[in-house]
Homo-oligomer: A and B are copies of this chain.
Protein backbone atom coordinates (compact mmCIF):
# COMPACT_ATOMS: atom_id res chain seq x y z
CA UNK A 1 0.00 0.00 0.00
CA UNK A 2 1.23 3.54 -0.76
CA UNK A 3 1.88 5.32 2.53
CA UNK A 4 -1.12 7.49 3.46
CA UNK A 5 1.18 9.84 5.33
CA UNK A 6 4.88 10.52 5.06
CA UNK A 7 6.25 10.93 8.56
CA UNK A 8 3.99 10.01 11.46
CA UNK A 9 4.89 10.99 15.04
CA UNK A 10 3.47 9.01 17.95
CA UNK A 11 3.67 10.79 21.28
CA UNK A 12 3.11 8.09 23.88
CA UNK A 13 3.61 4.38 23.17
CA UNK A 14 1.21 2.40 25.39
CA UNK A 15 -1.40 -0.13 24.23
CA UNK A 16 -2.94 2.18 21.61
CA UNK A 17 0.29 3.84 20.49
CA UNK A 18 2.09 0.55 20.00
CA UNK A 19 -0.90 -0.97 18.17
CA UNK A 20 -0.91 2.00 15.79
CA UNK A 21 2.86 1.67 15.30
CA UNK A 22 2.52 -2.03 14.44
CA UNK A 23 -0.25 -1.20 11.97
CA UNK A 24 1.77 1.57 10.29
CA UNK A 25 4.76 -0.74 9.98
CA UNK A 26 3.00 -3.95 8.94
CA UNK A 27 0.63 -2.32 6.48
CA UNK A 28 3.11 0.21 5.13
CA UNK A 29 0.94 3.21 5.96
CA UNK A 30 3.76 5.65 6.77
CA UNK A 31 7.24 6.22 5.44
CA UNK A 32 8.66 7.21 8.84
CA UNK A 33 7.47 6.46 12.37
CA UNK A 34 8.89 8.74 15.08
CA UNK A 35 8.19 7.62 18.62
CA UNK A 36 8.36 9.87 21.66
CA UNK A 37 7.83 9.02 25.30
CA UNK A 38 9.09 10.63 28.46
CA UNK A 39 9.97 7.44 30.27
CA UNK A 40 13.45 6.13 29.57
CA UNK A 41 12.50 2.46 30.08
CA UNK A 42 9.43 2.62 27.86
CA UNK A 43 11.41 4.25 25.05
CA UNK A 44 14.08 1.57 25.30
CA UNK A 45 11.42 -1.13 25.15
CA UNK A 46 9.78 0.46 22.08
CA UNK A 47 13.17 0.43 20.41
CA UNK A 48 13.72 -3.23 21.31
CA UNK A 49 10.33 -4.07 19.83
CA UNK A 50 11.24 -2.18 16.66
CA UNK A 51 8.06 -0.15 16.79
CA UNK A 52 9.41 2.96 15.03
CA UNK A 53 12.08 4.34 12.76
CA UNK A 54 13.31 6.91 15.31
CA UNK A 55 13.04 7.32 19.10
CA UNK A 56 12.89 10.54 21.13
CA UNK A 57 12.54 11.47 24.76
CA UNK A 58 11.56 15.00 23.70
CA UNK A 59 8.29 15.14 21.72
CA UNK A 60 9.48 18.29 19.94
CA UNK A 61 12.14 16.23 18.19
CA UNK A 62 9.59 13.61 17.15
CA UNK A 63 7.00 15.96 15.64
CA UNK A 64 9.49 17.94 13.51
CA UNK A 65 8.50 17.56 9.82
CA UNK A 66 5.72 15.11 10.74
CA UNK A 67 2.70 15.06 8.42
CA UNK A 68 0.61 13.43 11.11
CA UNK A 69 1.01 13.72 14.88
CA UNK A 70 -0.95 11.31 17.10
CA UNK A 71 -1.06 11.94 20.82
CA UNK A 72 -1.38 8.58 22.60
CA UNK A 73 -1.07 9.84 26.18
CA UNK A 74 -3.65 9.89 29.00
CA UNK A 75 -6.25 12.60 28.36
CA UNK A 76 -5.02 14.65 31.30
CA UNK A 77 -1.63 15.09 29.61
CA UNK A 78 -2.87 16.23 26.18
CA UNK A 79 -2.91 19.97 26.96
CA UNK A 80 0.67 20.06 28.17
CA UNK A 81 1.91 18.00 25.23
CA UNK A 82 0.09 20.25 22.75
CA UNK A 83 1.69 23.29 24.33
CA UNK A 84 5.13 21.71 24.17
CA UNK A 85 4.99 20.58 20.55
CA UNK A 86 3.09 23.57 19.09
CA UNK A 87 6.15 25.58 17.99
CA UNK A 88 7.63 22.58 16.16
CA UNK A 89 4.53 21.55 14.18
CA UNK A 90 4.86 21.61 10.41
CA UNK A 91 2.35 23.78 8.50
CA UNK A 92 -0.42 21.60 7.03
CA UNK A 93 0.20 18.75 9.49
CA UNK A 94 -2.78 16.80 10.82
CA UNK A 95 -2.83 16.61 14.63
CA UNK A 96 -5.01 14.04 16.38
CA UNK A 97 -5.25 12.07 19.60
CA UNK A 98 -6.77 8.80 20.82
CA UNK A 99 -8.25 9.92 24.14
CA UNK A 100 -11.44 8.47 25.61
CA UNK A 101 -12.83 11.93 26.35
CA UNK A 102 -13.12 14.51 23.60
CA UNK A 103 -14.61 17.71 25.05
CA UNK A 104 -11.78 18.30 27.52
CA UNK A 105 -9.11 17.30 25.00
CA UNK A 106 -10.42 19.91 22.56
CA UNK A 107 -10.56 22.51 25.33
CA UNK A 108 -7.03 21.67 26.51
CA UNK A 109 -5.31 21.32 23.12
CA UNK A 110 -7.00 23.74 20.71
CA UNK A 111 -5.77 26.98 22.35
CA UNK A 112 -2.16 25.87 21.93
CA UNK A 113 -2.25 24.67 18.33
CA UNK A 114 -1.17 27.05 15.55
CA UNK A 115 -3.72 27.97 12.87
CA UNK A 116 -1.60 26.30 10.18
CA UNK A 117 -2.30 22.70 11.39
CA UNK A 118 -5.46 20.60 11.08
CA UNK A 119 -6.77 19.41 14.44
CA UNK A 120 -9.03 16.33 14.23
CA UNK A 121 -9.55 14.72 17.64
CA UNK A 122 -10.18 10.98 17.54
CA UNK A 123 -11.01 7.98 19.70
CA UNK A 124 -10.58 4.34 18.70
CA UNK A 125 -13.13 2.31 20.70
CA UNK A 126 -10.76 -0.54 21.23
CA UNK A 127 -8.58 -1.79 24.00
CA UNK A 128 -7.84 -4.49 26.49
CA UNK A 129 -7.15 -4.35 30.20
CA UNK A 130 -3.42 -4.45 29.46
CA UNK A 131 -1.14 -1.47 28.99
CA UNK A 132 2.37 -0.53 27.86
CA UNK A 133 4.29 -0.97 24.60
CA UNK A 134 4.20 -4.77 24.86
CA UNK A 135 0.40 -4.84 24.91
CA UNK A 136 -0.09 -3.65 21.32
CA UNK A 137 -1.15 -5.93 18.47
CA UNK A 138 -2.07 -5.63 14.82
CA UNK A 139 -5.74 -6.63 15.06
CA UNK A 140 -6.73 -4.29 17.89
CA UNK A 141 -8.77 -1.95 15.68
CA UNK A 142 -10.17 -4.64 13.39
CA UNK A 143 -13.95 -4.29 13.06
CA UNK A 144 -14.00 -1.71 15.88
CA UNK A 145 -15.33 1.81 15.63
CA UNK A 146 -13.16 4.91 15.71
CA UNK A 147 -14.95 8.17 16.39
CA UNK A 148 -13.60 11.43 14.94
CA UNK A 149 -14.79 14.75 16.37
CA UNK A 150 -13.47 17.52 14.09
CA UNK A 151 -13.96 21.00 15.54
CA UNK A 152 -15.89 23.65 13.62
CA UNK A 153 -13.97 24.97 10.65
CA UNK A 154 -11.82 21.84 10.18
CA UNK A 155 -11.13 21.15 6.52
CA UNK A 156 -13.11 18.12 5.41
CA UNK A 157 -10.04 16.85 3.59
CA UNK A 158 -8.06 16.52 6.82
CA UNK A 159 -10.86 14.49 8.41
CA UNK A 160 -11.05 12.25 5.34
CA UNK A 161 -7.31 11.58 5.33
CA UNK A 162 -7.50 10.50 8.95
CA UNK A 163 -10.57 8.39 8.24
CA UNK A 164 -8.66 6.63 5.46
CA UNK A 165 -5.83 5.84 7.87
CA UNK A 166 -8.16 4.33 10.47
CA UNK A 167 -9.98 2.32 7.83
CA UNK A 168 -6.64 1.04 6.56
CA UNK A 169 -6.00 -0.21 10.11
CA UNK A 170 -9.26 -2.19 9.95
CA UNK A 171 -11.50 0.24 11.84
CA UNK A 172 -14.93 1.58 10.98
CA UNK A 173 -15.19 5.36 11.34
CA UNK A 174 -17.99 7.60 12.56
CA UNK A 175 -17.92 11.39 12.84
CA UNK A 176 -19.83 13.20 15.59
CA UNK A 177 -19.51 16.19 17.93
CA UNK A 178 -17.22 16.03 20.93
CA UNK A 179 -20.19 16.62 23.26
CA UNK A 180 -22.17 13.72 21.87
CA UNK A 181 -19.13 11.46 21.93
CA UNK A 182 -18.66 12.15 25.63
CA UNK A 183 -22.27 11.32 26.40
CA UNK A 184 -22.15 8.04 24.44
CA UNK A 185 -18.89 6.98 26.04
CA UNK A 186 -20.13 7.85 29.52
CA UNK A 187 -22.81 5.17 29.23
CA UNK A 188 -21.05 2.47 27.17
CA UNK A 189 -17.68 2.76 28.84
CA UNK A 190 -17.06 5.20 31.67
CA UNK A 191 -19.93 4.29 34.00
CA UNK A 192 -19.47 0.53 33.37
CA UNK A 193 -15.82 0.90 34.37
CA UNK A 194 -16.74 2.95 37.42
CA UNK A 195 -19.20 0.38 38.73
CA UNK A 196 -16.76 -2.44 38.01
CA UNK A 197 -14.06 -0.64 40.01
CA UNK A 198 -16.62 0.05 42.69
CA UNK A 199 -17.88 -3.49 43.22
CA UNK A 200 -14.38 -4.88 43.32
CA UNK A 201 -13.58 -2.30 46.00
CA UNK A 202 -16.74 -3.14 47.94
CA UNK A 203 -15.90 -6.84 47.87
CA UNK A 204 -12.37 -6.19 49.09
CA UNK A 205 -13.61 -4.21 52.08
CA UNK A 206 -16.07 -6.73 53.55
CA UNK A 207 -15.54 -8.21 57.00
CA UNK A 208 -18.13 -10.98 56.62
CA UNK A 209 -16.66 -12.50 53.48
CA UNK A 210 -12.91 -13.02 53.21
CA UNK A 211 -10.79 -11.90 50.28
CA UNK A 212 -9.80 -15.49 49.65
CA UNK A 213 -13.47 -16.48 49.34
CA UNK A 214 -14.04 -13.63 46.89
CA UNK A 215 -11.16 -14.90 44.78
CA UNK A 216 -12.10 -18.60 44.93
CA UNK A 217 -15.74 -18.12 44.07
CA UNK A 218 -15.25 -15.27 41.60
CA UNK A 219 -16.28 -17.37 38.59
CA UNK A 220 -19.94 -16.67 39.23
CA UNK A 221 -19.91 -13.19 37.68
CA UNK A 222 -17.49 -11.16 39.73
CA UNK A 223 -14.39 -12.16 37.77
CA UNK A 224 -15.71 -10.39 34.65
CA UNK A 225 -15.82 -7.16 36.63
CA UNK A 226 -12.28 -7.64 37.89
CA UNK A 227 -10.99 -7.72 34.33
CA UNK A 228 -12.47 -4.28 33.66
CA UNK A 229 -11.32 -3.08 37.07
CA UNK A 230 -7.75 -4.04 36.13
CA UNK A 231 -7.53 -1.29 33.51
CA UNK A 232 -4.83 1.39 33.68
CA UNK A 233 -5.38 3.55 36.81
CA UNK A 234 -3.87 6.79 35.46
CA UNK A 235 -5.83 6.64 32.24
CA UNK A 236 -9.08 6.02 34.08
CA UNK A 237 -8.53 8.63 36.76
CA UNK A 238 -8.11 11.18 33.97
CA UNK A 239 -11.24 10.00 32.18
CA UNK A 240 -13.43 10.51 35.23
CA UNK A 241 -11.90 13.89 36.02
CA UNK A 242 -12.30 15.16 32.45
CA UNK A 243 -15.70 13.72 31.51
CA UNK A 244 -17.21 14.67 34.85
CA UNK A 245 -20.50 16.16 33.73
CA UNK A 246 -21.57 13.32 31.43
CA UNK A 247 -20.40 10.65 33.90
CA UNK A 248 -22.31 12.24 36.78
CA UNK A 249 -25.43 12.52 34.65
CA UNK A 250 -25.34 8.87 33.57
CA UNK A 251 -24.42 7.77 37.06
CA UNK A 252 -27.46 9.56 38.47
CA UNK A 253 -29.70 7.62 36.10
CA UNK A 254 -27.96 4.35 36.95
CA UNK A 255 -28.45 4.97 40.66
CA UNK A 256 -32.09 5.91 40.17
CA UNK A 257 -32.73 2.70 38.25
CA UNK A 258 -30.81 0.67 40.83
CA UNK A 259 -32.89 2.14 43.65
CA UNK A 260 -36.01 1.05 41.84
CA UNK A 261 -34.62 -2.50 41.42
CA UNK A 262 -33.69 -2.51 45.10
CA UNK A 263 -37.27 -1.61 45.94
CA UNK A 264 -38.57 -4.41 43.69
CA UNK A 265 -36.40 -6.88 45.58
CA UNK A 266 -37.43 -5.56 48.97
CA UNK A 267 -41.11 -5.81 48.12
CA UNK A 268 -40.82 -9.11 46.26
CA UNK A 269 -41.94 -7.69 42.91
CA UNK A 270 -40.84 -10.63 40.76
CA UNK A 271 -42.66 -9.36 37.66
CA UNK A 272 -40.64 -6.13 37.55
CA UNK A 273 -37.40 -8.12 37.84
CA UNK A 274 -38.45 -10.63 35.19
CA UNK A 275 -39.49 -7.88 32.79
CA UNK A 276 -36.10 -6.14 33.01
CA UNK A 277 -34.10 -9.38 32.82
CA UNK A 278 -35.95 -10.36 29.64
CA UNK A 279 -35.46 -6.96 28.02
CA UNK A 280 -31.71 -6.89 28.67
CA UNK A 281 -31.28 -10.28 27.00
CA UNK A 282 -32.29 -8.91 23.61
CA UNK A 283 -29.64 -6.18 23.76
CA UNK A 284 -26.96 -8.84 24.12
CA UNK A 285 -28.35 -10.53 21.03
CA UNK A 286 -28.11 -7.29 19.03
CA UNK A 287 -24.49 -6.76 20.06
CA UNK A 288 -23.55 -10.26 18.93
CA UNK A 289 -25.48 -9.77 15.68
CA UNK A 290 -23.65 -6.47 15.07
CA UNK A 291 -20.37 -8.40 15.27
CA UNK A 292 -19.23 -6.52 18.38
CA UNK A 293 -18.88 -9.66 20.52
CA UNK A 294 -18.63 -13.41 20.23
CA UNK A 295 -21.76 -15.55 20.66
CA UNK A 296 -19.76 -18.21 22.48
CA UNK A 297 -20.62 -19.03 26.07
CA UNK A 298 -18.37 -17.25 28.56
CA UNK A 299 -16.81 -15.29 25.68
CA UNK A 300 -15.38 -18.60 24.43
CA UNK A 301 -12.93 -18.46 27.33
CA UNK A 302 -10.70 -21.47 27.50
CA UNK A 303 -11.21 -23.71 30.53
CA UNK A 304 -8.96 -22.33 33.24
CA UNK A 305 -5.69 -24.04 33.91
CA UNK A 306 -5.58 -26.48 36.80
CA UNK A 307 -5.04 -24.72 40.09
CA UNK A 308 -1.51 -25.55 41.29
CA UNK A 309 -2.45 -24.80 44.88
CA UNK A 310 -5.24 -27.33 44.72
CA UNK A 311 -3.06 -29.93 43.05
CA UNK A 312 -0.62 -29.61 45.88
CA UNK A 313 -3.47 -30.30 48.29
CA UNK A 314 -4.78 -33.41 46.49
Contacts and interface: CB of A to CB of B under 8 A. Distances in A.
A294 B302 contact: yes
Nearest to A281: B230
A58 interface: no
Nearest to A229: B280
B280 A200 contact: yes
Contact of A199 (B203, B254, B303): B254
Interface of A: 100, 125-130, 135, 139, 142-145, 147, 172, 174, 183-185, 187-206, 208-209, 211, 213-231, 233-234, 236-238, 240-241, 244, 247-248, 250-251, 253-255, 257-258, 261-262, 265-266, 268, 270, 273-274, 276-281, 283-287, 290-294, 297-310
Contact of A198 (B139, B258, B274, B303): B258
A280 B201 contact: yes
B297 A130 contact: yes
Nearest to A223: B293
A228 B304 CA distance: 19
Contact of A129 (B189, B206, B233, B297): B297
Contacts of A283: 200, 203-204, 211, 214-215, 226, 229
A82 B244 CA distance: 53
Given A234-B274, A283-B226, A290 B139 contact: no
A187 B265 contact: no
Most B CB contacts (10 A, CB to CB) among A144, A220, A304, A309 go to A220
Q: How many copies does the complex hold?
A: 2
B215 A187 contact: no
Contacts of A257: 198, 201-202, 205
A290 B198 contact: no
Given A205-B253, A226-B280, 5 more contacts: A184-B209, A199-B254, A237-B274, A238-B270, A299-B299
Contact of A218 (B262, B274, B292, B307): B292
22 contacts: A125-B217, A142-B304, A174-B216, A183-B208, A187-B214, A188-B213, A188-B214, A189-B222, A192-B221, A192-B225, A193-B221, A200-B283, A200-B284, A202-B250, A216-B290, A216-B292, A219-B292, A223-B293, A226-B283, A226-B284, A291-B304, A299-B299
B310 A172 contact: yes
Given A143-B303, A216-B145, A223-B293, A280 B230 contact: yes
A226 B286 CA distance: 10
A297 B134 CA distance: 12
Contacts of A236: 273, 277
Contacts of A304: 142-143, 291-294
A215 B273 CA distance: 23
A293 to B, nearest CB: 5
